[in-house]
Structure 1
Amino acid sequence: MNNALERSGPVLLSVALLLVWELSCKTFEVPPFVLPSPSLIAEALAENFYIIWFHSSQTLLTTVIGFAFAVAFGALLGIAVGSSRVAYTSLYPLLVAFNSIPKVAIVPILVVWFGIGSVPAVITAFMLSFFPIAVNVATGLATIEPDLRDVLRSLGASQLDIVRKVGIPRSMPYLFASLKISITLAFVGSVISETLASNRGIGTLMTQASANFRIPLVFAGLVVIAVMGVVMYMIFAVIEKRMTGWATRGATFGIGG
């Protein structure tokens, strides 16, 4: 009973919210250019299916590429920062400072360097998504118990052995937790760049639709981004459960658990 409720809960809640949204728009006669109803958004999705597919495929491609670079770079950087106290104290403040910079302010610079197109979107997706990965991996490595380190060293293990055989497996749950967050941030980065400097992508479509007061199409683009983000999140949640089930064994609830 509880398992069925847990699985159907998100669907039932989403349907209830859509019904309230639809009824509110109808009851209060909200103009479509202010807030379109879910039925109008569905019509926009159906009528502009091929256009949305054309743009969403580009957004998905740039997001996945940027995210792949973020995973590789963030994991390696996290291992370096988490396995060395000197690297931690030296690099961590720089990471925080870089993450504090609004990425939307960097997009115009990327356009000057690389021109309008996919490259700024890939780089923006990378910049928004690598930080949580690096921080979580570093945290997983840095929180190895000192007593465990002492025991391993007494048994002849080197620092590389500790990182490779204990630190990296220990950081896997942290890594997958960050992946589920970072993939959504990667979509945000791609759309931001496409909104400002691209000729293809969901961000471009939403900008053009907004300029023509086609607000239902703008919301249709938002729906597509949300769906892609949820699907990617669920994919990593399934992979996480298969690869790090030992870390969540016995847990009765949790996001992606």
Structure 2
Amino acid sequence: MSLPSSTLVKAAPWALTALLFVLWELICVGFALPDYLLPAPTAVWASGQEFAGAIMQHATQTLLTTLAGFALAVAVGLALGLAVGASPLVYKACYPLLVGFNSIPKVAFVPVLVVWFGIGTAPAILTAFLISFFPVVVNVATGLATLEPELEDVLRSLGARRLDILFKVGLPRALPYFFASLKVAITLAFVGSVISETVASNLGIGYLMMSASSSMNMPLVFAGLMVIGVMGVVMYQLFALVERRLTGWAHRNPNAPH
């Protein structure tokens, strides 16, 4: 008796994850790999239990830092995306600068931020912001810029002003793009905060991983990686749920997997 397709879709990521962990364990055991080279999942789990208190403390710091940088990126990215998408002149003027800025590795900004703000939380928040605001800008601007010209002509013929078209038609039209960008931006924000924590912080998962690697405690390093991965997946799924709730009208099949 075959399982319903919806059940298979829901079970597929869990089954694949379990399979990868089993293969990982078998490789480590089969080749007798030492923990300092590649720890087995069981060793990573044991290390996570042993250092659960420290991991929780550092993970909380990383999560709060990431959310702060992400919130700043959403606010700035939404405002800038509205400006870029609503005005062809602003689009032409700003887009090359945004692309050039996004091409710069954000880790290069960390030493500058340390000089300006010192070691600690501020550089991590700003690095998370710098690395995650670009997808928001691009997606919001794309959603506004792709509004059908025929629709704009009809609305203008009915007496709609430019701001009416922007906020009552363009912005709702851009919502699917906006929420799609949030799922990308939140994962990038974790990357930014952890990068900064490894270089210029004394708290956070990045700092924990650097401290553990300096003492060759690779199970703890991998435990930190797992925690970051879990937090990223949870936040991604949260925004995917919000996207389905608020923009289901934009999808032909709202129940389709994302």
Q: TM-score range by the shorter chain?
A: over 0.9
Q: CA RMSD in A?
A: 0.8
User: What's the CA shift string for 1:73-118, capped at 9, x where partnerless?
Assistant: 1011101000000000001111101101110011000000000000
User: What's the CA shift string for 1:120-144, capped at 9, x where partnerless?
Assistant: 0000000011000010000000000
CA distance in 2 between counterparts of 1:252 and 1:76 reads: 31
Q: Which residue of 1 aligns with 2:183?
A: 180
**TM-score normalised per structure 2:** 0.97
CA distance in 1 between counterparts of 2:122 and 2:152 reads: 43
Secondary structure, aligned partner of 1:106: helix
Residue of 182, 194, 203 corresponding to 2:197? 194
Structure 2 residue identity aligned to 1:74:
G
2:183/2:239 contact within 8 Å kept: yes
Q: Which residue of 2 aligns with 1:142?
A: 145
CA distance in 1 between counterparts of 2:246 and 2:256 reads: 18
Q: Which residue of 2 aligns with 1:120?
A: 123
1:251 CA displacement: 5.4
1:250 CA displacement: 2.5
Mark the runs of 5 or more structure 1 residues left unpaired by the alignment: none
Q: Which residue of 2 aligns with 1:47?
A: 50
1:202 CA displacement: 0.3
CA distance in 2 between counterparts of 1:249 and 1:64 reads: 31
User: What's the CA shift string for 1:202-247, capped at 9, x where partnerless?
Assistant: 0000000000000000000000000000000011011111000101
Mark the runs of 5 or more structure 2 residues left unpaired by the alignment: none
State how many pairs are aligned: 255
Residue of 52, 68, 73 corresponding to 1:70? 73
1:31 CA displacement: 1.2
Is 1:31 aligned to 2:41, yes or no? no
CA distance in 1 between counterparts of 2:16 and 2:177 reads: 29
Q: Which residue of 2 aligns with 1:240?
A: 243
Structure 1 residue identity aligned to 2:40:
S
2:244/2:254 contact within 8 Å kept: no
CA distance in 2 between counterparts of 1:25 and 1:249 reads: 45
**TM-score normalised per structure 1:** 0.98
1:252 CA displacement: 6.0
Q: Which residue of 1 aligns with 2:154?
A: 151
Residue of 6, 11, 20 corresponding to 1:17? 20
1:159 CA displacement: 1.1
Aligned sequence identity (%): 59
Residue of 147, 158, 166 corresponding to 2:169? 166
Secondary structure, aligned partner of 1:213: coil
Structure 2 residue identity aligned to 1:118:
T
Residue of 4, 7, 11 corresponding to 2:10? 7
Secondary structure, aligned partner of 1:250: coil
1:48 CA displacement: 0.3
CA distance in 2 between counterparts of 1:152 and 1:93 reads: 31
Residue of 213, 224, 228 corresponding to 2:227? 224
Is 1:213 aligned to 2:216, yes or no? yes
CA distance in 1 between counterparts of 2:47 and 2:249 reads: 45
Structure 2 residue identity aligned to 1:60:
L
Structure 1 runs of 4+ off > 6 angstroms? none
CA distance in 1 between counterparts of 2:110 and 2:253 reads: 45
Structure 2 residue identity aligned to 1:54:
Q
Secondary structure, aligned partner of 2:27: helix
Structure 2 residue identity aligned to 1:27:
G
1:254 CA displacement: 3.7
